Structure 1
C-alpha cells in the first residue's frame, strides 16, 4: 500500500511511498482509508529529529471496513467508519473497535475525518467543565480545529460562549457557529466566566485564568503559542473573589480503557447532518500533501486540512 511516511530528507519531512500492509490483531478491523485530516501537532512532529524516518503517522482518518475484526468486535465489512489512532495517513489502517465509529451512509468522509482528535477533545473537555446551561464559557484558539468544535458544542449545551481568536477576520464565522462574544485577547473580556477551554497557552492562559469566577475551571488542551506560561504570585491570590479556581491538564488518551466508538459515531452523525460545521478550509488529493503541510506550519490555515486518499 501507499502511505505518507516521515522523510527528513524532504522539504516537508514527509514522502508518499510504498510500505507493507498492516496486519490486524484479532480485535482490529482493517479499514480502507478514503480521507485523512491533518493536525498542526502532527505535521510539526514529523519535522522532529526524534521521529524516525519511515514512520507512518496520522491520528484522524475515515474510510470503509474491508475486513471485520476476527474476534467479532466492531462493525461488519462494508461499514463506513471514522477512526482514531496512529499510522492513519495510509491506504489501509488496522483499528481497534473502541477507536472507530460507524458513520451514516451518506456522510462525506472528508468532513467526518476531522472529528477524532478535534471533536473528541472538545466534547470531553466541555464535559469536564460540568453543566453549561446558562453559564459563560471561554474558548481560546477558537478558530482552530478543537476551538471550532468547542464553540459549537458549548453553544448547543446552552452556554454563553466567549470565543477568543487572534484573527479578527474570524469574528463573523465564530458568531455563526454560536459564539455570543468574540475577542482577540482574553484580557479584553470584562465579565467572569465559569470555565475555559484553552488551546493556546502562554500569556493567553494567564489572562484566561484571571477571567475565571470563583470555583471556575480552566482546562489546558493545547499550546499553539509555543510560549512559556508564567503565573505570577499575584495571579494565584485567592482573595478579592478569585478563590478556589483551578487549572487542569487534559490528555485524550488519559483513560487507557476509554471507548470512543459511541462519541465518534455521534459526532460524525452530527457533522453529516449539518448540525456541526467541521471547518474544512483546505482540501485536495493526498498527492498535494505538501501544500496542506506548509499552510498549517505557516499558520495560514484557520480550520482543518483534509486529504482525499486514492
Structure 2
C-alpha cells in the first residue's frame, strides 16, 4: 500500500512511499483511508520520536474494506471515522472496532477526519467537567482544533462559554459565531469565577486558568501547546475564600471507553452542519510537507486535512 513514511531527510519529515498492508487482529476492521487530519502533537513530538519508515497518524475517515473477524463493528462498505495511536497516514488501516464510528454516507471525508481527536477530546473533557447547563466554562487555546469544537459543544450543552485566545481582536468574531458568549485574551480577564476549564495550552496559562475556578470547579488539562511546565505560586492551592474542592485532572482520550458511539454521533453532527469542523488547510496527501509546515508555523488556527486520492499532484490550498 502507499503511505506517508517518516523520513527525517525529506521536507516536513515525511515522504510518500510504500509499506506492507496491515494485518488486522480478530477485533479489528480493515479500513481504506479517504482523509486524515493532522494534529499538532503528532507534528511536534511524533515525527521526532518515530523511527524512519514508520506510519503515524491518529485520525482518519474511510470505508470499511473488510469487517472484523469477531463480528463486531460495521460491515464492509460502511463509511467510518477511526481513531488509533498510529497508521492513519496510509491507504489501509487496521482499526479496533471499539475505536470506529459509523459515519453518514456521502459526507465530506475531510470534515469527518477532524472528528476523532479534536471533537471527541472536546466532548469527553467537557463530560469530565460535569453537567453544563447554566454553568460557566472557560476554554483556553480556543482557536485550535479541540478548542473550536469545545466552544461549540459547551454552548450546545447550555453553558455560558468564555473563549480565551492570544488575539481576541483577530479571532473574537469567529469564536462568537462558534458559540462563545465572551472572548478574552488571558484567563485573568474572566469577569467571574467559572465552574469548569478546558485547558489546551498548559504552562503559565493553565496556572492562571486554575485561579478562575470557583468552589467545586474542575480544570481538565487536555493540551500542552506551550511546551512549558506548570509552576504554581505558594497559596494557589489553598482551599479558603471560596476555593474549596477545586480539581485539576489529567486527560488521555484513549483511556476513555465507548468511543465508537461518540465518534459516530459527532460525525453525523459534523455532516449535518451542526458542528463546524474548522478546516484551516486542506490538500492532497502528496502535499503533506506543506501541511506540516503550516502547522509548525503556529499561524494555523484550525485543522489541517490531507485527502487520499488515487491520482498524484492534486496540490494544496489554505481554507479561508
TM-score, L = length of structure 1: 0.97
The correspondence of residues 34-183 of structure 1 with structure 2, limited to 5 A, is 34-48=34-48, 50-85=49-84, 86-168=86-168, 169-183=170-184
Q: How does 1:119-268 map to 2 (within 5 A)?
A: 119-168=119-168, 169-255=170-256, 258-268=257-267
Judge conservation of contact 2:13–2:289 (CA < 8 Å) in 1. no
Cα displacement string for residues 178-230 of structure 1 (whole angstroms, at most 9, x for unaligned residues) = 10000111111121100000000111111111111011110100110112211
For 2:35 and 2:47, how far apart are their aligned partners in 1?
Answer: 22
Q: Distance in 2 between matches of 1:19 and 1:239?
A: 58
Q: How far apart, in 2, do the equivalents of 1:45 and 1:56 lie?
A: 14
Contact 1:6 1:46 in 2 (8 A): no
Tell me if the contact between 2:154 and 2:161 (Cα under 8 Å) persists in the aligned partners.
yes
| Equivalent position of 1:275 in the other structure | 274
Deviation, 1:307, is: 0.3
Q: Secondary structure at the match of 1:232?
A: coil
Compute the displacement of 1:167 (Å).
2.6
**What are the superposed Cα offsets for residues 110-133 of structure 1, whole Å, 9 maximum, x if unpaired?**
101000011111111111111111
Is the partner of 1:282 in helix, strand or coil?
strand
* In structure 2, distance between residues paired with 1:240 and 1:261: 42
Cα displacement string for residues 65-102 of structure 1 (whole angstroms, at most 9, x for unaligned residues) = 11111221111111000010121100010111111111
Name the CA distance, whole Å, in 1 between partners of 2:47 and 2:116: 22
Task: Give the CA deviation at 1:254.
Answer: 2.1
Distance in 1 (CA, whole Å) between partners of 2:99 and 2:11 is 32
Structure 1 counterpart SS, 2:209? helix
What residue is the counterpart of 1:290 in the other structure?
A: 289
> 22-31 or 76-85, which moves further after superposition?
22-31
Cα deviation code 1:33-59 (max 9, x no counterpart): 0100000000122442x3211110000
TM-score by length of 2: 0.94
Between Structure 1 and Structure 2, how many residues are aligned?
Answer: 307
Please list every run of 5 or more consecutive structure 2 residues that lacks an aligned counterpart in the other structure. 310-320
Instruction: Indicate the SS of the match to 2:207.
Output: helix
State how far apart, in whole Å, the 1-side matches of 2:228 and 2:235 are. 20
8 A Cα contact 1:138 1:163, kept in partner? yes
Q: Tell me, yes or no, if the aligned pair for 1:3 and 1:16 is still in contact at 8 Å.
A: yes
Contact in 2 for aligned 1:3/1:90 (Cα 8 Å): yes
Equivalent-residue separation in structure 1 for 2:46 and 2:305 (angstroms)? 17
Is the 2:139–2:162 Cα contact (8 Å) retained in structure 1? yes
Match of 1:4 in 2: 4
> Runs in 1 of length 4+ with deviation above 3 angstroms?
none
Residues 59 and 88 in structure 1, CA contact (< 8 A), matched pair in contact too: yes
What is the CA–CA distance in structure 2 between the aligned matches of 1:253 and 1:265, rounded to whole Å? 16
Q: In 2, distance between residues paired with 1:240 and 1:152?
A: 32
What's the counterpart of residue 19 of structure 1? 19
Counterpart-to-counterpart distance in 1, 2:34 and 2:254:
25
Do the aligned residues in 2 keep the contact of 1:14 with 1:46 (CA within 8 Å)? no
